[in-house]
Amino acid sequence: MTSARHNNLCLCNTCHKLCKKPPAAQTKALCPRCYSPLFSRKPETLIRTWALTIAAAILFIPANLLPITTITYLGHSQPDTIMSGIIALTKAGMIPIAIVVFIASIAVPVLKLLGIVTLLLSVQYRWSMNPTQRTLMFRMIEWIGRWSMLDLFVIAILMALINLGNLSEFEAGSAANAFGLVVVLTMFAATSFDPRLIWDQDVTTDDKEPKDIKDD
Amino acid sequence: MTPPFLRERPLTACHECDLLLQPAQKKLHQIVRCPRCGYKLYQHKPGSTHNTIALALAGVVFFIPANTLPIMSMELFGQTHIDTMLTGVTRLFDNGHWWISGLVLLCSVIFPLMRLVLALLVLIPLQLGRSSRAQIEAFKLYHHLSSWSMLEVYMIGILVAIIKLANMAMISPGYGLICFTGLMLCTIGLSQTLDEHTTWDLLEKYRHD
């Protein structure tokens, strides 16, 4: 198996055109087709991904401890964290909704953070994990990230609907800000990770010929 | 040093694992995957350009009613409250949550609209055989916005909100919900019908002609 990098070629990250690899000294090489900066691997990919992931992990703590919503009903205020909101839904018998909120607001962000950290460590310490499985994990992390926005959308909809002055009010809490940042930062972290690093350590055999593409 | 096989025919490489590949002949409706990591390299979508233009135009038509007509209304203690796509955003903003308000506005209103408009700006001139630097920049932006347009997530959010409120108030869906569903289907369809691979090839081809 031979990689593009081995043949002094690199794929444009935006339009996927195969280009000649820019010399290391030339930092401002642009793709001839779409004028995006060319690089064989995303620049500073590990440092950037670590930074974004750590920031998201830190913000995940206030996002879960502070109240995400406060419902005032007939003069009685009830602040809810993400978890207490899920417990309240379960007690009210709305199990399916509780499961949906739990998956979007807790399971997905936690699994994403753990997944990105696993990928980073596996690349840095050359763990012998199956590269195909790791690529699949990366694709899942990329795809599922946006679904964590669900809770914020629900808050926006409920704020519009529940607005009766003193009788009943629905208010977003400070955790919503932290949670919004967690979602955005983890999405950026997934984009800044370069999956090609997973395969770079895999090049054990170095064939001289490129492989033919298989058809589905 | 250029290996001899590079001079024979144009090669491609996998975007996810950097494997160097000989491109296969494009066949109708064919999906081509990387033999090493399984990444979908490209999928041939016949009629992609005019299908996408049609979908994007339909999306633009749905956009205004979807954002201004009531998505649902709720009756509580004899008072009726109406929710459009923008009421939640403005209330969040008025209560000082400008960051969440902006995030929701971008992901559920602005980015979906931008993707529709950018697709039209790229594809209509392309259909007429034109390609310019502006189209290339627009298509790059379209590509980068793909994961930030989240109408299907918003749709599930609407359903969650309806179920949450169902036992405390009377909820009735509005016409905005129908238009919103149409808009959501158009934005999802856009990613399904647009053949990014061929679009880049055409943008390049017409530039040099």
Each residue's pLDDT tens digit, A52-73: 999 999 999 999 999 999 888 7
A9 touches chain B (CB under 8 A): yes
Query: Scanning the structure block, which residue is given the tokens 């066949």?
Result: B27
Mutation choice for B interface testing from A119, A213, A215, A216 by most B CBs within 10 A? A213
Residue A165's pLDDT is what? 61
Q: b or e along B32-45 (b: 16 or more beta carbons within 10 Å of the residue's beta carbon)?
A: bbbbbbbbebbbeb
List, for residues A172-204, the tens digit of each pLDDT value. Answer: 889 999 999 999 999 999 999 999 999 887 655
Mean pLDDT across chain B: 88
pLDDT of A207 above 50: no
Contacts of A197 in chain B (CB under 8 A): none
CB nearest B77 (choices: A13, A159, A164): A164
pLDDT of B122 above 50: yes
* Interval B106-135 mean pLDDT: 95
Residue A2's pLDDT is what? 82
Tell me the pLDDT band of B142, cut-offs 50, 70 and 90.
very high
Residue A216's pLDDT is what? 42
Total residues belonging to chain A: 216
Residue A95 burial by CB count (10 A; 0-12/13-18/19+): exposed, middle or buried?
exposed
Residue A135 burial by CB count (10 A; 0-12/13-18/19+): exposed, middle or buried?
buried
Contacts of A82 in chain B (CB under 8 A): none
d(CA A30, CA A11): 11
Which span out of A198-207, B34-43, B121-130 was modeled with the highest average pLDDT? Answer: B121-130
| Distance of alpha carbon B9 from the chain centroid | 34
| Dihedral of alpha carbons B19, B22, B24, B26, sign | positive
Point out the least confidently predicted range of A121-125, A161-165, B199-203.
Answer: A161-165
Tell me the pLDDT band of A215, cut-offs 50, 70 and 90.
very low
CB nearest A211 (choices: B35, B144, B148): B35
Range 132-191 of A in CB contact (< 8 A) with B: 132, 135-136, 138-139, 142, 145-147, 149-150, 152-164, 167-168, 171-172, 176-177, 180-181, 184, 187, 191
pLDDT of A16 above 80: yes
Residue B23's pLDDT is what? 75
pLDDT of A213 above 70: no
List, for residues B72-89, the tens digit of each pLDDT value. Answer: 888 877 777 888 889 889
Residue A205's pLDDT is what? 44
Tell me the pLDDT band of A4, cut-offs 50, 70 and 90.
confident
List, for residues A153-179, the tens digit of each pLDDT value. Answer: 999 998 888 876 656 778 888 999 999
Rounded to whole angstroms, what are the CA distances from B88 to A100, A122, A152? 21, 42, 10
List, for residues B189-200, the tens digit of each pLDDT value. Answer: 998 999 898 899
Name the residue of chain A whose CA is nearest to B143's CA. Answer: A14
Contacts of A119 in chain B (CB under 8 A): none
A36 touches chain B (CB under 8 A): yes
pLDDT of B1 above 50: no
Pull the structure tokens for residue A107.
């399971």
Q: b or e along B122-158 (b: 16 or more beta carbons within 10 Å of the residue's beta carbon)?
A: bbbbbeeeebeeebbebbbebbebebbbbbebbbbbb
pLDDT of B175 above 70: yes
